[in-house]
Amino acid sequence: MSLEIIVQNAAQSDAVPKTEKIQNWVQHALGESCSGELTVRVVGESEGVSLNERFRHGSGATNVLAFPYVDTAPVSTLEFPSLGDLIICAPVLEREAADQGKLLEAHWAHISIHGTLHLLGYDHETAEDARVMEARERELLAALGFDDPYPEGV
């Protein structure tokens, strides 16, 4: 089987990285042996707000939403199984990078990897879960040449 990463850019921003970069970051987090289909949808503020409020009952837009695919059928009929969907809100990423003094591309790589790890079952609900997830993020980002997204004191 193979892996297909579909990137939909619905954001009105020239700061969104090229499709190939987003695909590379997501595939890096998934690993070489992963197969299936994953969709990354890059959205603007209003769509980000709507999706966060509707599906996560959050207030406002957030940087990334991860929707893992759950097959409820007793036997999967999918030849090319869906891994899930990532929703990345471009304006939120741009603000966060500026506010945190991070390079925008590095923040895009981080959030793409962070969301993908959520699809793989990682979370940060407890301190221990956060420690494990952040360690994996650091490892993946370092392999791509990016700095630690969690410097001490932040």
CATH number of 3-143: 3.40.390.30
CB neighbours (10 Å) of residue 1?
Answer: 10
12 Cβ neighbours under 8 A, 6+ residues apart: 44
User: 79 or 150: whose pLDDT is higher?
Assistant: 150
pLDDT of residue 78: 54
- Contact between 117 and 137 under an 8 Å Cβ cutoff? The reply is yes
Is the pLDDT at 80 greater than 90? The verdict is no
14-42: average pLDDT: 94
Instruction: Compute the distance between CA of residue 112 and CA of residue 42 in angstroms, rounded to an integer.
Output: 10
**Edge-to-edge strand order for the sheet containing 3-9?**
3-9, 36-43, 82-89, 64-68
pLDDT tens digits along 90-143: 999 999 999 999 999 999 999 999 999 999 999 999 999 999 999 999 999 999
* DSSP-assigned beta bridge partners for residue 40: 7, 86
Give pTM, 2 decimals.
Answer: 0.91
pLDDT of residue 75: 52
By C-alpha distance, which of 49, 48, 28 is closest to 38? 28
